[in-house]
Amino acid sequence: MRFVLNGKRADVDAAPLKRLLDVLREDCGLAGTKEGCGEGECGACTVLVDGAPVNSCLVPFAHVRGRKVTTIEGLRSRLPEALVREGGTQCGICTPGIVMAAAALGPRPSAACVREALAGNLCRCTGYAGIVRALAGRRAAPHPRVRAARGPRPVAPGRPKRTRRS
Amino acid sequence: MATAFSRLPLLQPRSLDEALRLLRDEGPLVPLAGCTDLYVDFHFGTVGGRRFLDLQGLGTLRGIRRRGNTLVIGALATYAELIASPLVRRRLPILAEASRWVGSPQIQNRGTLGGNVANASPAGDTLPVLAVAEATVVLRRVDGERRVPFGSFYTGYRRTVMRPDELIVSIEVPPVEGRQWFRKVGTRAAQAISKVVMAAVRAPHPRIALGSVAPTVVRVPRTEAVLAGGGSLAEAQAVLVDEIQPIDDLRSTAAYRRRVSANLLAQFWSETGRKR
């Protein structure tokens, strides 16, 4: 089956219901995409399909026929350096998924945007402050640690304002 | 587990007619679209079959459009598409809002409205919205189409009126008069299954629907009647906690759900009662 993998044409023979995650790791030799929970809760396996982040553990291979798949190996981004600089990565299992989920954001996103974009990415090491610092627009804040500690009231990820008008 | 699953057959029709013929002649088949429930169900051993029908190739099930005064949402519309749709945001903003509360951006990019309806979970986040909007579920089979009012679509816990040879093609939403309101209460904002989810419309006859408080999503007509008849909020709350049938389960308790449902009713009533 043909699709575009990290900008190059690919033709892979795999079962249609095989998870995209397994096709990437086993058939394409791209082990940068990690398996965490295997049920769409943790976001470690996030890749882009036609530019949109998805959990590759929940995507049957058949669904990427003719589509563009981007993995951490194919991403040209400075986000990983920013994560290292701000203490946004420790054990590293969640990091490729964090980077891919954030890659879909526009330039200089607000902290609230970052939190919502990463609402489906769990990290059990960092406590998220370093991650949000690394990915939010104002990277050059003078005292990032103090800012994070006092910070604005944490915005619950994915929580929109309630609609009050019809 | 995933490896065993990957070897199961997947039929991939190119048209709706072909899909419906396969459902009739080659069944039983489990239709799949966004697959956000499918792989999880497989892990838990709760997948309803061993052979699958892929709906992703069916272009006629896509799209969000207006037909006359009716909002027509294709069964394959994803939560992300519902969130981004100007038509949905204008006509039924609480559907866009409910979609933002589903899972995570990754899930919203894959999960579909038709899947949320067909999966028939009592906790489905969009279902109270469709209930108060008095939507219609459009079902197709080889020899015809039928339109089922949302209020009579569910017959019990994870049970619907759908026959094995039918597919949901679209959800139709008539104009909704009045101020719309939605709130989901879960353990956390993202990636949480609802403890209680409520949608409501403030109108001369208010409409109120809740999820996760009964075997199916429910409208609460007795509570609505109290408010429509000019009864007090306290009276309506007393009726509401009697009208729903929540249970204790791994996410919450019946007592908590009753309390929170009454609190949500109060919040709906006070927030929509303010002058604009």
Name which of A42, A37, A139 is nearest A87 in CA terms: A139
pTM of the model: 0.91
Are the beta carbons of A151 and A131 closer than 8 angstroms?
Answer: no
Which one of A18, A164, A166 has the shortest CB-CB distance to B178? A166
Which one of A53, A63, A160 has the shortest CB-CB distance to B106? A53
Q: Each residue of A138-162: pLDDT tens digit?
A: 544 333 333 333 333 434 444 444 4
Which pLDDT does position B190 carry in this prediction?
Answer: 81
State the Cα–Cα distance between residues B239 and B267, nearest whole angstrom: 16
Residue B273's CB: how many other CB atoms inside 10 A? 10
Min Cα distance B8 → chain A (Å) is 7
Beta-carbon separation of A160 and B93 below 8 A:
no
Phi, psi of A11 (to 5 degrees): -135, 105
Beta-carbon separation of A46 and B106 below 8 A:
yes
Place of tokens 């993202």: B190
- In order along its 276 residues, chain B shows pLDDT tens digits of 456 888 899 999 999 999 999 999 998 999 999 999 999 988 888 888 899 999 999 999 999 999 999 999 999 999 999 999 999 999 999 999 999 999 999 999 999 999 999 999 999 999 999 999 999 999 999 999 999 999 999 999 999 999 999 999 999 999 999 999 999 998 887 888 889 999 999 999 999 999 999 999 999 999 999 999 999 999 999 999 999 999 888 889 999 999 999 999 999 999 999 765
Half-sphere exposure of A54 (CA within 13 A, CB side): 28
Which pLDDT does position A165 carry in this prediction?
Answer: 42
List chain A residues with CB under 8 Å of B49.
Answer: none
Min Cα distance B199 → chain A (Å) is 11
Which pLDDT does position B83 carry in this prediction?
Answer: 97
Q: Would an 8 Å CB–CB cutoff place B67 in contact with chain A?
A: no
Beta-carbon separation of A120 and B103 below 8 A:
yes
Q: Hey, is B231 helix, strand or coil?
A: coil
Identify the residue with better confidence: A165 or A6: A6
